[in-house]
Amino acid sequence: MGRYDLALIGFGGVNRALAELISQSGERLAKELGFALRVVAITDLRAGSLVDTDGIDLAPLLAAEPGELSFEALAGGSADPRNEWVVREVPADIIVEATFTNPTDGEPALSHVRWALESGKQVCTTNKGPVALAGRALKQLAAEHGVSFEFEGSVLSGTPILRTAQRMFGGLEITGVQGIMNGTSNYILGRLEEGIELSAAIAEAQELGYAEADPTADIEGHDVQLKVMILANEVLGADLRREDVFCEGISAITPQEVQDAASKGLRWKLVGSATRHEDGSVDARVAPLALPAQHPLAGISGPVNAVAFHTDLLGVSDTVVPQSIELGTDTTPVHNPYTGEVIASVPTVDAGAVGSILQQARCGRRTAAALSRAARAAVLERAARLIERRAESFAQLIVSEAGKTITQARKEVGRAVNTLSLSAAEARRNAGEVIPFDSHEGSEKRQGWFTREPLGIIAAITPFNDPLNLVALLATRSGQSPPSQGLPLPRERDKFQAGTETN
Protein backbone atom coordinates (compact mmCIF):
# COMPACT_ATOMS: atom_id res chain seq x y z
CA MET A 1 0.00 0.00 0.00
CA GLY A 2 1.27 3.46 -0.89
CA ARG A 3 1.61 6.39 1.49
CA TYR A 4 1.48 10.15 1.14
CA ASP A 5 3.37 12.38 3.56
CA LEU A 6 1.62 15.65 4.40
CA ALA A 7 2.81 19.04 5.58
CA LEU A 8 0.00 20.97 7.28
CA ILE A 9 0.37 24.73 6.85
CA GLY A 10 -1.86 26.25 9.50
CA PHE A 11 -3.20 24.27 12.43
CA GLY A 12 -6.63 25.79 12.93
CA GLY A 13 -10.01 24.13 12.60
CA VAL A 14 -9.54 22.59 9.14
CA ASN A 15 -6.10 21.04 9.56
CA ARG A 16 -6.77 20.01 13.17
CA ALA A 17 -9.83 18.14 11.92
CA LEU A 18 -7.72 16.48 9.22
CA ALA A 19 -5.10 15.52 11.79
CA GLU A 20 -7.80 14.08 14.03
CA LEU A 21 -9.15 11.97 11.17
CA ILE A 22 -5.69 10.63 10.38
CA SER A 23 -4.94 9.95 14.05
CA GLN A 24 -8.23 8.27 14.92
CA SER A 25 -9.34 6.73 11.63
CA GLY A 26 -6.11 6.33 9.69
CA GLU A 27 -6.33 2.55 9.26
CA ARG A 28 -9.95 2.64 8.11
CA LEU A 29 -9.22 5.46 5.67
CA ALA A 30 -6.22 3.59 4.28
CA LYS A 31 -8.38 0.54 3.57
CA GLU A 32 -11.05 2.64 1.88
CA LEU A 33 -8.71 4.89 -0.09
CA GLY A 34 -5.99 2.37 -0.91
CA PHE A 35 -3.20 4.54 0.52
CA ALA A 36 -2.07 5.78 3.91
CA LEU A 37 -1.65 9.38 5.08
CA ARG A 38 1.12 10.50 7.41
CA VAL A 39 1.83 14.00 8.75
CA VAL A 40 5.53 14.91 8.70
CA ALA A 41 5.33 18.67 9.29
CA ILE A 42 3.00 21.23 10.86
CA THR A 43 3.34 25.02 10.92
CA ASP A 44 1.18 27.49 12.78
CA LEU A 45 1.38 31.22 13.37
CA ARG A 46 1.06 30.83 17.16
CA ALA A 47 2.42 27.35 17.83
CA GLY A 48 5.50 27.54 15.58
CA SER A 49 6.65 24.59 13.48
CA LEU A 50 7.19 20.88 14.03
CA VAL A 51 8.98 18.47 11.70
CA ASP A 52 9.48 14.71 11.98
CA THR A 53 10.13 12.93 8.69
CA ASP A 54 9.32 9.60 10.35
CA GLY A 55 5.82 10.84 11.15
CA ILE A 56 4.48 13.15 13.87
CA ASP A 57 2.63 11.66 16.83
CA LEU A 58 -0.61 13.63 16.51
CA ALA A 59 -2.46 12.46 19.63
CA PRO A 60 -0.67 14.70 22.18
CA LEU A 61 -0.99 17.72 19.89
CA LEU A 62 -4.73 17.18 19.54
CA ALA A 63 -5.11 16.76 23.30
CA ALA A 64 -3.80 20.30 23.89
CA GLU A 65 -6.09 23.30 23.72
CA PRO A 66 -5.47 25.19 20.45
CA GLY A 67 -4.51 28.43 22.18
CA GLU A 68 -2.09 26.63 24.50
CA LEU A 69 -0.24 24.57 21.89
CA SER A 70 3.46 25.27 21.37
CA PHE A 71 5.95 23.26 19.31
CA GLU A 72 9.05 24.98 20.69
CA ALA A 73 9.90 22.41 23.38
CA LEU A 74 9.24 19.35 21.20
CA ALA A 75 11.88 17.40 19.27
CA GLY A 76 11.97 18.89 15.78
CA GLY A 77 10.00 21.88 16.99
CA SER A 78 10.58 25.62 16.77
CA ALA A 79 8.80 28.76 17.94
CA ASP A 80 9.23 30.10 14.40
CA PRO A 81 6.64 28.85 11.86
CA ARG A 82 9.39 28.63 9.18
CA ASN A 83 6.68 28.35 6.53
CA GLU A 84 8.88 28.80 3.46
CA TRP A 85 11.54 26.38 4.69
CA VAL A 86 8.94 23.75 5.59
CA VAL A 87 7.10 24.10 2.30
CA ARG A 88 10.23 24.05 0.12
CA GLU A 89 12.59 21.75 2.03
CA VAL A 90 10.66 19.20 4.10
CA PRO A 91 10.15 15.99 2.05
CA ALA A 92 6.34 16.06 1.99
CA ASP A 93 4.29 14.80 -0.95
CA ILE A 94 1.31 17.10 -0.36
CA ILE A 95 1.15 20.59 1.12
CA VAL A 96 -2.20 21.15 2.84
CA GLU A 97 -2.67 24.92 3.05
CA ALA A 98 -5.34 26.05 5.51
CA THR A 99 -4.23 29.38 6.91
CA PHE A 100 -6.54 32.39 7.28
CA THR A 101 -8.09 33.98 4.18
CA ASN A 102 -6.86 37.41 3.18
CA PRO A 103 -9.40 38.86 0.71
CA THR A 104 -7.13 41.73 -0.34
CA ASP A 105 -4.02 40.05 -1.73
CA GLY A 106 -4.35 36.38 -0.71
CA GLU A 107 -1.21 36.44 1.43
CA PRO A 108 0.43 34.61 3.08
CA ALA A 109 -1.48 31.66 1.61
CA LEU A 110 -0.72 32.71 -1.97
CA SER A 111 3.02 32.48 -1.30
CA HIS A 112 2.61 29.15 0.48
CA VAL A 113 0.88 27.67 -2.57
CA ARG A 114 3.36 29.19 -5.02
CA TRP A 115 6.37 27.89 -3.06
CA ALA A 116 4.91 24.39 -2.98
CA LEU A 117 4.13 24.26 -6.69
CA GLU A 118 7.57 25.65 -7.58
CA SER A 119 9.05 22.86 -5.43
CA GLY A 120 7.17 20.19 -7.34
CA LYS A 121 4.75 19.35 -4.53
CA GLN A 122 1.04 18.67 -4.77
CA VAL A 123 -1.18 21.27 -3.10
CA CYS A 124 -4.57 20.97 -1.47
CA THR A 125 -6.14 24.12 -0.02
CA THR A 126 -9.42 25.33 1.44
CA ASN A 127 -8.18 28.92 1.29
CA LYS A 128 -10.33 31.14 -0.94
CA GLY A 129 -7.77 33.91 -1.34
CA PRO A 130 -5.17 32.28 -3.63
CA VAL A 131 -7.84 30.57 -5.76
CA ALA A 132 -10.00 33.66 -6.26
CA LEU A 133 -7.17 36.13 -6.78
CA ALA A 134 -4.60 34.03 -8.67
CA GLY A 135 -6.28 30.74 -9.55
CA ARG A 136 -5.45 30.79 -13.27
CA ALA A 137 -1.76 31.58 -12.70
CA LEU A 138 -1.46 28.92 -9.99
CA LYS A 139 -3.07 26.25 -12.19
CA GLN A 140 -0.61 27.14 -14.94
CA LEU A 141 2.30 26.91 -12.49
CA ALA A 142 1.07 23.49 -11.34
CA ALA A 143 0.87 22.26 -14.93
CA GLU A 144 4.41 23.49 -15.64
CA HIS A 145 5.74 21.44 -12.70
CA GLY A 146 3.57 18.38 -13.31
CA VAL A 147 1.72 18.55 -9.99
CA SER A 148 -1.87 19.01 -8.85
CA PHE A 149 -3.46 22.12 -7.38
CA GLU A 150 -6.69 21.08 -5.65
CA PHE A 151 -9.09 23.58 -4.07
CA GLU A 152 -12.53 21.96 -3.96
CA GLY A 153 -13.04 23.00 -0.33
CA SER A 154 -12.51 26.69 -1.05
CA VAL A 155 -16.17 27.37 -1.89
CA LEU A 156 -18.43 25.15 0.24
CA SER A 157 -15.95 23.34 2.46
CA GLY A 158 -16.62 19.58 2.32
CA THR A 159 -19.32 19.79 -0.34
CA PRO A 160 -17.90 19.10 -3.84
CA ILE A 161 -19.70 21.98 -5.53
CA LEU A 162 -17.03 22.56 -8.18
CA ARG A 163 -16.87 18.89 -9.16
CA THR A 164 -20.65 18.78 -9.22
CA ALA A 165 -20.71 21.52 -11.82
CA GLN A 166 -17.73 20.31 -13.81
CA ARG A 167 -18.31 16.55 -13.84
CA MET A 168 -21.99 15.85 -13.25
CA PHE A 169 -23.61 18.33 -15.62
CA GLY A 170 -22.23 16.72 -18.76
CA GLY A 171 -24.16 17.77 -21.85
CA LEU A 172 -25.52 20.87 -20.13
CA GLU A 173 -24.50 24.45 -20.58
CA ILE A 174 -24.29 26.25 -17.25
CA THR A 175 -25.32 29.85 -17.80
CA GLY A 176 -25.35 31.12 -14.25
CA VAL A 177 -24.93 30.39 -10.57
CA GLN A 178 -26.72 31.97 -7.63
CA GLY A 179 -26.56 31.10 -3.99
CA ILE A 180 -26.43 31.69 -0.29
CA MET A 181 -22.74 31.06 0.26
CA ASN A 182 -22.19 32.25 3.80
CA GLY A 183 -24.06 30.41 6.53
CA THR A 184 -23.10 32.98 9.17
CA SER A 185 -24.80 35.89 7.42
CA ASN A 186 -27.82 33.73 6.66
CA TYR A 187 -28.16 32.82 10.34
CA ILE A 188 -27.87 36.47 11.34
CA LEU A 189 -30.54 37.57 8.84
CA GLY A 190 -32.84 34.96 10.32
CA ARG A 191 -32.28 36.37 13.78
CA LEU A 192 -32.96 39.91 12.52
CA GLU A 193 -36.29 38.63 11.21
CA GLU A 194 -37.06 37.58 14.78
CA GLY A 195 -36.37 41.12 16.02
CA ILE A 196 -32.82 40.66 17.33
CA GLU A 197 -30.46 43.61 16.79
CA LEU A 198 -27.49 43.07 14.47
CA SER A 199 -24.84 43.35 17.18
CA ALA A 200 -26.64 40.83 19.39
CA ALA A 201 -27.13 38.44 16.45
CA ILE A 202 -23.41 38.63 15.62
CA ALA A 203 -22.46 37.92 19.23
CA GLU A 204 -24.82 34.96 19.26
CA ALA A 205 -23.32 33.61 16.03
CA GLN A 206 -19.83 33.95 17.52
CA GLU A 207 -20.89 32.10 20.67
CA LEU A 208 -22.32 29.27 18.56
CA GLY A 209 -19.11 29.05 16.53
CA TYR A 210 -20.64 30.27 13.25
CA ALA A 211 -18.82 33.62 13.17
CA GLU A 212 -15.14 34.45 13.62
CA ALA A 213 -13.87 36.82 16.28
CA ASP A 214 -13.67 39.40 13.48
CA PRO A 215 -16.91 38.88 11.51
CA THR A 216 -16.18 41.53 8.88
CA ALA A 217 -15.70 39.11 5.99
CA ASP A 218 -19.06 37.47 6.75
CA ILE A 219 -21.05 40.62 7.44
CA GLU A 220 -19.67 42.78 4.62
CA GLY A 221 -19.87 40.05 1.98
CA HIS A 222 -16.14 39.68 1.29
CA ASP A 223 -16.26 35.93 1.93
CA VAL A 224 -19.06 35.50 -0.60
CA GLN A 225 -17.31 37.79 -3.07
CA LEU A 226 -14.31 35.45 -3.24
CA LYS A 227 -16.55 32.39 -3.56
CA VAL A 228 -18.47 33.99 -6.43
CA MET A 229 -15.19 34.77 -8.17
CA ILE A 230 -14.11 31.14 -7.88
CA LEU A 231 -17.42 29.81 -9.20
CA ALA A 232 -17.51 32.33 -12.05
CA ASN A 233 -13.92 31.61 -13.08
CA GLU A 234 -14.02 27.84 -12.68
CA VAL A 235 -17.57 27.05 -13.81
CA LEU A 236 -18.44 29.88 -16.22
CA GLY A 237 -14.97 30.31 -17.71
CA ALA A 238 -14.58 33.92 -16.58
CA ASP A 239 -11.41 35.70 -15.50
CA LEU A 240 -12.82 38.06 -12.90
CA ARG A 241 -10.82 40.20 -10.54
CA ARG A 242 -12.11 41.36 -7.19
CA GLU A 243 -12.96 44.83 -8.51
CA ASP A 244 -15.18 43.21 -11.14
CA VAL A 245 -17.55 41.81 -8.50
CA PHE A 246 -19.87 44.35 -6.87
CA CYS A 247 -20.09 43.64 -3.14
CA GLU A 248 -22.55 44.86 -0.51
CA GLY A 249 -22.99 43.20 2.87
CA ILE A 250 -25.78 43.13 5.44
CA SER A 251 -24.48 45.62 7.99
CA ALA A 252 -26.94 48.34 6.91
CA ILE A 253 -30.04 46.13 7.18
CA THR A 254 -32.21 46.64 10.26
CA PRO A 255 -34.51 44.17 12.04
CA GLN A 256 -37.47 46.40 11.08
CA GLU A 257 -36.64 46.12 7.37
CA VAL A 258 -36.36 42.34 7.60
CA GLN A 259 -39.62 42.04 9.55
CA ASP A 260 -41.47 44.38 7.16
CA ALA A 261 -40.32 42.25 4.23
CA ALA A 262 -41.42 39.06 5.99
CA SER A 263 -44.91 40.52 6.51
CA LYS A 264 -45.12 40.91 2.72
CA GLY A 265 -43.94 37.35 2.02
CA LEU A 266 -40.33 38.33 1.28
CA ARG A 267 -37.14 36.96 2.87
CA TRP A 268 -33.88 38.87 3.03
CA LYS A 269 -30.86 36.82 1.88
CA LEU A 270 -27.26 37.70 1.11
CA VAL A 271 -27.02 36.38 -2.44
CA GLY A 272 -23.93 35.86 -4.55
CA SER A 273 -24.51 35.42 -8.27
CA ALA A 274 -22.74 35.21 -11.61
CA THR A 275 -24.34 35.17 -15.05
CA ARG A 276 -22.81 34.43 -18.45
CA HIS A 277 -24.31 36.38 -21.35
CA GLU A 278 -24.57 35.33 -24.99
CA ASP A 279 -21.45 37.31 -25.90
CA GLY A 280 -19.47 35.29 -23.34
CA SER A 281 -19.12 38.08 -20.79
CA VAL A 282 -19.84 37.33 -17.14
CA ASP A 283 -21.43 39.64 -14.59
CA ALA A 284 -21.06 38.88 -10.87
CA ARG A 285 -22.28 40.53 -7.69
CA VAL A 286 -22.91 40.07 -3.99
CA ALA A 287 -25.84 41.89 -2.42
CA PRO A 288 -28.69 41.43 0.05
CA LEU A 289 -31.98 40.74 -1.73
CA ALA A 290 -35.57 40.45 -0.52
CA LEU A 291 -36.66 37.25 -2.28
CA PRO A 292 -40.25 36.18 -2.90
CA ALA A 293 -41.43 33.02 -1.17
CA GLN A 294 -41.38 30.97 -4.39
CA HIS A 295 -37.69 31.66 -5.01
CA PRO A 296 -35.59 28.48 -4.48
CA LEU A 297 -33.33 30.29 -2.00
CA ALA A 298 -36.06 31.99 0.04
CA GLY A 299 -36.73 28.99 2.28
CA ILE A 300 -33.08 28.41 3.24
CA SER A 301 -32.81 29.25 6.94
CA GLY A 302 -30.14 29.07 9.60
CA PRO A 303 -26.38 28.53 9.11
CA VAL A 304 -26.95 26.85 5.78
CA ASN A 305 -25.49 27.33 2.31
CA ALA A 306 -27.38 26.72 -0.93
CA VAL A 307 -26.27 27.07 -4.54
CA ALA A 308 -28.47 26.98 -7.63
CA PHE A 309 -26.99 26.39 -11.08
CA HIS A 310 -28.87 27.73 -14.10
CA THR A 311 -28.60 25.40 -17.10
CA ASP A 312 -29.92 25.39 -20.65
CA LEU A 313 -31.78 22.05 -20.44
CA LEU A 314 -32.61 21.39 -16.79
CA GLY A 315 -33.38 24.93 -15.73
CA VAL A 316 -32.37 25.43 -12.10
CA SER A 317 -30.56 22.64 -10.21
CA ASP A 318 -29.79 23.33 -6.57
CA THR A 319 -27.60 21.89 -3.83
CA VAL A 320 -28.30 22.66 -0.17
CA VAL A 321 -25.56 22.32 2.42
CA PRO A 322 -26.68 22.15 6.07
CA GLN A 323 -24.28 23.00 8.88
CA SER A 324 -23.23 19.97 10.89
CA ILE A 325 -25.10 19.52 14.17
CA GLU A 326 -23.31 18.87 17.42
CA LEU A 327 -25.64 16.87 19.69
CA GLY A 328 -23.21 16.77 22.59
CA THR A 329 -22.87 13.94 25.09
CA ASP A 330 -25.93 14.48 27.30
CA THR A 331 -28.68 11.91 26.89
CA THR A 332 -32.29 11.53 27.92
CA PRO A 333 -33.74 8.12 28.89
CA VAL A 334 -36.34 6.36 26.72
CA HIS A 335 -38.87 4.33 28.73
CA ASN A 336 -40.81 1.24 27.76
CA PRO A 337 -44.39 2.63 27.67
CA TYR A 338 -45.78 -0.57 29.20
CA THR A 339 -43.34 -1.31 32.03
CA GLY A 340 -41.71 2.07 32.62
CA GLU A 341 -38.29 0.42 32.29
CA VAL A 342 -35.48 2.53 30.85
CA ILE A 343 -34.43 0.63 27.74
CA ALA A 344 -32.42 3.19 25.74
CA SER A 345 -31.35 6.81 25.59
CA VAL A 346 -31.28 9.51 22.93
CA PRO A 347 -29.10 12.63 22.63
CA THR A 348 -30.44 15.68 24.40
CA VAL A 349 -30.73 18.57 21.96
CA ASP A 350 -31.77 22.17 22.38
CA ALA A 351 -34.32 24.07 20.35
CA GLY A 352 -31.66 25.50 18.03
CA ALA A 353 -30.31 22.06 17.18
CA VAL A 354 -33.83 20.76 16.57
CA GLY A 355 -34.46 23.60 14.14
CA SER A 356 -31.22 22.87 12.29
CA ILE A 357 -32.04 19.15 12.10
CA LEU A 358 -35.45 20.02 10.69
CA GLN A 359 -33.79 22.22 8.07
CA GLN A 360 -31.56 19.31 7.08
CA ALA A 361 -34.58 17.04 6.84
CA ARG A 362 -36.49 19.51 4.69
CA CYS A 363 -33.66 20.06 2.25
CA GLY A 364 -32.39 16.49 2.33
CA ARG A 365 -33.74 15.51 -1.04
CA ARG A 366 -31.55 18.07 -2.76
CA THR A 367 -28.20 17.53 -1.08
CA ALA A 368 -26.78 14.30 -2.46
CA ALA A 369 -26.83 14.95 -6.18
CA ALA A 370 -23.17 15.88 -5.86
CA LEU A 371 -22.10 12.40 -4.76
CA SER A 372 -20.25 10.17 -7.16
CA ARG A 373 -21.55 6.64 -7.74
CA ALA A 374 -18.88 5.18 -5.45
CA ALA A 375 -19.63 7.77 -2.77
CA ARG A 376 -23.36 7.03 -2.94
CA ALA A 377 -22.67 3.34 -2.46
CA ALA A 378 -20.29 4.08 0.41
CA VAL A 379 -22.96 6.15 2.19
CA LEU A 380 -25.42 3.27 1.99
CA GLU A 381 -22.87 0.68 3.06
CA ARG A 382 -21.81 2.74 6.09
CA ALA A 383 -25.45 3.22 7.05
CA ALA A 384 -26.04 -0.52 6.82
CA ARG A 385 -23.02 -1.26 9.01
CA LEU A 386 -24.04 1.38 11.54
CA ILE A 387 -27.57 0.00 11.91
CA GLU A 388 -26.29 -3.58 12.01
CA ARG A 389 -23.79 -2.80 14.79
CA ARG A 390 -26.51 -1.16 16.86
CA ALA A 391 -29.33 -3.46 15.84
CA GLU A 392 -30.49 -4.23 19.35
CA SER A 393 -30.63 -0.56 20.34
CA PHE A 394 -32.72 0.25 17.27
CA ALA A 395 -35.00 -2.69 18.00
CA GLN A 396 -35.54 -1.57 21.60
CA LEU A 397 -36.43 1.93 20.43
CA ILE A 398 -38.98 0.50 18.01
CA VAL A 399 -40.48 -1.49 20.87
CA SER A 400 -40.75 1.58 23.06
CA GLU A 401 -42.01 4.00 20.43
CA ALA A 402 -44.08 1.83 18.08
CA GLY A 403 -45.43 -0.70 20.56
CA LYS A 404 -44.16 -3.67 18.56
CA THR A 405 -42.85 -6.89 20.00
CA ILE A 406 -39.11 -7.33 20.18
CA THR A 407 -39.30 -10.05 17.52
CA GLN A 408 -41.14 -7.74 15.13
CA ALA A 409 -38.73 -4.94 15.88
CA ARG A 410 -35.67 -7.08 15.21
CA LYS A 411 -37.16 -8.16 11.88
CA GLU A 412 -37.73 -4.53 10.93
CA VAL A 413 -34.13 -3.65 11.70
CA GLY A 414 -32.95 -6.67 9.71
CA ARG A 415 -35.03 -5.56 6.74
CA ALA A 416 -33.53 -2.07 7.01
CA VAL A 417 -29.99 -3.44 6.87
CA ASN A 418 -30.94 -5.70 3.95
CA THR A 419 -32.53 -2.83 2.04
CA LEU A 420 -29.52 -0.58 2.51
CA SER A 421 -27.08 -3.32 1.48
CA LEU A 422 -29.04 -4.10 -1.66
CA SER A 423 -29.26 -0.39 -2.47
CA ALA A 424 -25.48 -0.06 -2.10
CA ALA A 425 -24.91 -3.00 -4.45
CA GLU A 426 -27.25 -1.47 -7.03
CA ALA A 427 -25.51 1.89 -6.62
CA ARG A 428 -22.16 0.36 -7.49
CA ARG A 429 -23.56 -1.31 -10.59
CA ASN A 430 -25.87 1.33 -11.92
CA ALA A 431 -26.27 5.09 -11.79
CA GLY A 432 -29.74 5.14 -13.32
CA GLU A 433 -32.48 7.42 -12.15
CA VAL A 434 -34.67 4.80 -10.47
CA ILE A 435 -33.83 1.13 -9.94
CA PRO A 436 -36.52 -1.05 -8.37
CA PHE A 437 -35.67 -4.32 -6.65
CA ASP A 438 -37.29 -6.94 -4.46
CA SER A 439 -35.97 -8.69 -1.39
CA HIS A 440 -37.57 -11.34 0.79
CA GLU A 441 -37.73 -11.73 4.56
CA GLY A 442 -39.35 -15.09 5.25
CA SER A 443 -42.74 -15.00 3.54
CA GLU A 444 -42.72 -11.21 3.28
CA LYS A 445 -41.84 -9.50 0.03
CA ARG A 446 -39.94 -6.26 0.58
CA GLN A 447 -39.85 -3.73 -2.24
CA GLY A 448 -37.40 -0.89 -2.41
CA TRP A 449 -35.73 1.48 -4.82
CA PHE A 450 -32.52 3.33 -5.42
CA THR A 451 -32.20 6.74 -7.02
CA ARG A 452 -29.31 9.05 -7.75
CA GLU A 453 -29.83 10.43 -4.26
CA PRO A 454 -29.76 7.55 -1.78
CA LEU A 455 -30.87 9.05 1.49
CA GLY A 456 -34.44 8.47 0.32
CA ILE A 457 -33.79 4.85 1.20
CA ILE A 458 -32.39 5.75 4.60
CA ALA A 459 -35.33 8.02 5.37
CA ALA A 460 -37.79 5.37 4.24
CA ILE A 461 -36.46 2.54 6.41
CA THR A 462 -35.45 4.23 9.64
CA PRO A 463 -37.33 2.79 12.63
CA PHE A 464 -39.39 5.96 12.85
CA ASN A 465 -40.30 5.84 9.12
CA ASP A 466 -39.68 9.54 8.72
CA PRO A 467 -36.86 11.72 10.13
CA LEU A 468 -39.34 14.34 11.33
CA ASN A 469 -40.78 11.74 13.70
CA LEU A 470 -37.31 11.20 15.12
CA VAL A 471 -36.88 14.95 15.54
CA ALA A 472 -40.20 15.10 17.38
CA LEU A 473 -38.99 12.34 19.71
CA LEU A 474 -35.71 14.12 20.41
CA ALA A 475 -37.49 17.41 21.06
CA THR A 476 -40.03 15.81 23.38
CA ARG A 477 -37.42 13.87 25.33
CA SER A 478 -35.28 17.00 25.83
CA GLY A 479 -38.14 19.03 27.24
CA GLN A 480 -38.74 21.07 24.09
CA SER A 481 -41.99 21.49 22.25
CA PRO A 482 -42.38 19.10 19.33
CA PRO A 483 -41.77 20.57 15.86
CA SER A 484 -44.58 22.54 14.30
CA GLN A 485 -47.52 20.40 13.36
CA GLY A 486 -47.69 22.45 10.17
CA LEU A 487 -44.71 20.58 8.76
CA PRO A 488 -46.06 18.07 6.25
CA LEU A 489 -44.77 14.53 6.23
CA PRO A 490 -43.29 13.69 2.83
CA ARG A 491 -45.72 12.09 0.43
CA GLU A 492 -44.75 9.08 -1.65
CA ARG A 493 -43.97 11.19 -4.69
CA ASP A 494 -41.61 13.51 -2.85
CA LYS A 495 -40.05 11.24 -0.23
CA PHE A 496 -36.50 12.23 0.45
CA GLN A 497 -34.68 11.17 -2.66
CA ALA A 498 -31.53 12.91 -1.83
CA GLY A 499 -28.48 12.19 0.03
CA THR A 500 -25.77 13.91 1.65
CA GLU A 501 -23.27 17.37 3.23
CA THR A 502 -20.53 25.87 6.04
CA ASN A 503 -19.53 28.12 5.06
Is residue 216's pLDDT more than 70?
Answer: yes
Cα separation, 84 vs 45, in Å, equals: 13
- pLDDT tens by residue, 104-142: 999 999 999 999 999 999 999 999 999 999 999 999 999
Is residue 450's pLDDT more than 50?
Answer: no
pLDDT bucket at 393, cuts 50 / 70 / 90: confident
**C-alpha dist (Å) from residue 210 to 90, 97, 204, 216, 221:** 34, 21, 9, 13, 15
Q: For the chain, what is the mean pLDDT?
A: 77
pLDDT of residue 376: 61
Query: pTM of the full predicted structure?
Result: 0.65
Residue 234's closest CA among 349, 306, 138, 158? 138
Q: Which residue would you say has higher pLDDT here, 491 or 137?
A: 137
pLDDT of residue 459: 34
Average pLDDT over every residue of 284-302:
89
pLDDT bucket at 408, cuts 50 / 70 / 90: confident
- pLDDT tens by residue, 331-381: 445 444 445 555 444 444 444 444 444 444 444 333 333 344 555 666 667
pLDDT of residue 388: 79
pLDDT of residue 398: 72
Three-class DSSP category at 209? coil
Average pLDDT over every residue of 138-166:
91
Average pLDDT over every residue of 454-475:
34
Is residue 286's pLDDT more than 90?
Answer: yes
- pLDDT tens by residue, 170-196: 778 899 999 999 999 999 999 999 999
The catalytic residue positions are 227
Q: Which residue would you say has higher pLDDT here, 105 or 484?
A: 105
pLDDT of residue 172: 82
- Give the percent of the chain with pLDDT over 90: 49
Q: Which residue would you say has higher pLDDT here, 313 or 320?
A: 313
Pairing of strands 94-97, 122-125: parallel
**C-alpha dist (Å) from residue 346 to 32, 335, 396, 493:** 30, 11, 12, 30
pLDDT of residue 167: 81
Average pLDDT over every residue of 35-42:
96
Contact 179, 308 (CB under 8 A): yes
Cα separation, 161 vs 371, in Å, equals: 10
**C-alpha dist (Å) from residue 411 to 21, 395, 399, 436, 441:** 34, 8, 12, 21, 8
pLDDT of residue 438: 42
pLDDT of residue 311: 85
